[in-house]
Structure 1
Amino acid sequence: MKFVVVTGLSGAGKSQAMRCFEDLGYFCVDNLPPTLMCKFADACYKSQGKINKIALVIDIRGGDFFHKTFESLSELKKQGYRYDILYLEADDKTLIKRYKETRRKHPLSPNGRVVDGITEEREHLKELRENANYIINTSKLSIWQLRDKISELFGEEGQVEREISVTALSFGFKYGIPVDSDLVFDVRFLPNPYYIEELKGYSGEEKLVKDYVFSFDETNDFVDKLTDMLDFLIPKYKKEGKRQLIISIGCTGGRHRSVAISNKVYEILNHKGYKVNVQHRDIVEDVNRGVSKL
Structure 2
Amino acid sequence: MTEHNTTPLSADMDLTPIKPVESELLVVTGMSGAGRSTAANALEDHGWYVVENLPPQMLGTLAELMSRMPQALPKLAVVIDVRSKGLFSDIRESLNALAAGGISFRVLFLDASDETLVRRFEQGRRPHPLQGDGRMLDGIAAERDLLTEMKSSSEMVLDTSIMNVHELGSAVTELFSETGPVVLRLTVMSFGFKYGLPVDANYVADVRFIPNPHWVPQLRPHTGLDQDVSNFVLVENNACEFVDRYVHALEPVLAGYRRENKHYATIAVGCTGGKHRSVAVAVELAKRLAQFPRVTVSTRHRDLGRE
TM-score class, shorter-chain normalisation, is 0.5 to 0.7
Corresponding residue for residue 120 of structure 2: 98
1:156 maps to amino acid: E
Taking the aligned partners of 1:20 and 1:77, their CA distance within structure 2 comes to: 26
Question: Residue deviations 1:223-249, cap 9 Å, x none?
Answer: xxxxxxxxxxxxxxxxxxxxxxxxxxx
Corresponding residue for residue 76 of structure 1: 98
Question: Residue deviations 1:169-196, cap 9 Å, x none?
Answer: xxxxxxxxxxxxxxxxxxxxxxxxxxxx
Equivalence map 1:248-259=2 (5 Å):
none
Gaps in structure 2 of 5+ consecutive residues: 1-22, 181-307
Moved more, 120-129 or 41-50: 41-50
Question: Residue deviations 1:31-87, cap 9 Å, x none?
Answer: 101111010111122224111101111111111111111111011111211111100
Question: Residue deviations 1:90-141, cap 9 Å, x none?
Answer: 1111110111111111111133211110011101000000011111111101
TM-score using structure 1 length: 0.52
SS at match of 1:125: helix
TM-score using structure 2 length: 0.50
- Greater Rg by CA: 1
Q: Does 1:10 align with 2:26?
A: no
Corresponding residue for residue 88 of structure 1: 110
2:53 maps to amino acid: N
Taking the aligned partners of 2:175 and 2:163, their CA distance within structure 1 comes to: 16
| Structure 1 runs (4+) greater than 2 angstroms displaced | none
Contact 1:10 1:106 in 2 (8 A): yes
Q: Does 1:49 align with 2:71?
A: yes
Aligned length: 158
Corresponding residue for residue 141 of structure 1: 163
Equivalence map 1:265-280=2 (5 Å):
none
Contact 1:17 1:147 in 2 (8 A): yes
| Cα distance, 1:155 vs structure 2 | 1.2
Q: Does 1:60 align with 2:55?
A: no
Match of 2:61 among 39, 47, 51: 39
Root-mean-square deviation (Å):
1.2
| Cα distance, 1:24 vs structure 2 | 1.1
| Cα distance, 1:21 vs structure 2 | 0.8
